[in-house]
Chain A
Amino acid sequence: MSLDFGFIYTAFLGLFSALPNTLIITVVSVLAGLVIGIITALVRIYKVPVLSQISHGYVTFIRGTPMLMHLLLIYFSLPLFIDAGAKHFGWSFHSKDVPYMVFALISFSITSGAYMSEVVRSGIQSVNRGQIEAAYAVGMTTWQVLRRIVFPQAFVVSLPNLTNSIIGMLHGSTLAFTVSVTEIQAQAEILASSNWKYLEVYIAAALIFWGLTVLIERISGLVEKKINVFNGGRAS
Chain B
Amino acid sequence: MSREFNIDYVFSFIPKMLSYLHITLFIVASSLLLGLIIGLLVALPRMYNIPFLKRVSQVYVSFFRGTPILIQLFLVYYGLPELLKLVDINSSRWDVLWFAVATYALNSGAFISEIIRSGVEAVDRGQIEAAQSVGMSGYQTFTRIILPQALAVVVPVFSNLVIGNLKDTSLAFTIGAMEMTGKSQTLGVATQHFVETYIALSLIYLVVSLILQKLFKVLENTLLKHEHRDTVQSEPKKRKSFVVRYLNPRLSKGGKSI
Contacts and interface: CB of A to CB of B under 8 A. Distances in A.
Interface of A: 1-3, 45, 60-61, 63-69, 72-73, 76-77, 79-80, 95, 118-119, 122, 124-130, 132, 150, 157-158, 160-161, 164, 167, 170-175, 185, 188, 198-199, 202-203, 205-206, 209-210, 213-214, 235-236
Q: Which 7 A/B pairs are nearest by Cβ-Cβ distance?
A: A213-B66, A171-B68, A66-B167, A66-B170, A125-B257, A76-B194, A64-B209
Contacts of B256: 128-130
Interface string B246-258: 1001101111111
24 contacts: A1-B85, A3-B82, A64-B206, A64-B210, A64-B213, A65-B202, A66-B181, A69-B198, A69-B202, A72-B198, A76-B1, A76-B194, A126-B253, A127-B255, A130-B256, A158-B252, A172-B68, A175-B171, A185-B71, A202-B75, A202-B79, A206-B72, A209-B71, A210-B63
B78 A45 contact: no
Contacts of B66: 167, 209-210, 213-214
A72 B254 contact: no
A125 B249 contact: no
Nearest to A22: B68
Nearest to A74: B198
Contacts of A80: 1-2, 5, 195
B195 A174 contact: no
Contacts, number: 148
Given A68-B181, A69-B202, A125-B258, A206 B75 contact: yes
A96 B58 CA distance: 47
Contacts of A203: 75, 79
B170 A69 contact: yes
B74 interface: yes
B68 A129 contact: no
Contacts of A198: 74, 78
Contact of B83 (A1, A77, A95): A1
B78 A126 contact: no
Contacts of B74: 188, 198, 202
Interface in B154-187: 163, 167-168, 170-171, 181
A132 to B, nearest CB: 7
B249 A119 contact: yes
Contacts of B245: 160, 235-236
B205 interface: yes
**Could you say which of A2, A66, A167 has the most chain B C-beta atoms within 10 Å of its C-beta?**
A66
B242 interface: yes
Nearest to B241: A235
A220 to B, nearest CB: 10
B44 interface: no
A131 B242 CA distance: 24
B16 interface: no
A11 to B, nearest CB: 12
B133 to A, nearest CB: 30
B201 interface: yes
Contact of B246 (A68, A95, A160): A160
Contacts of A214: 62, 66
Contacts of B2: 76, 80
B67 interface: yes
Interface string B1-16: 1100100000000000
A161 B252 contact: yes
A65 B63 CA distance: 25
Contacts of B195: 73, 76-77, 80
A21 B85 CA distance: 36
Given A64-B206, A119-B249, A1 B82 contact: yes
B18 to A, nearest CB: 16
B69 interface: yes
Interface string B64-99: 011111111011001100110110000000000000
Contacts of A199: 75, 78-79, 82
B37 interface: no
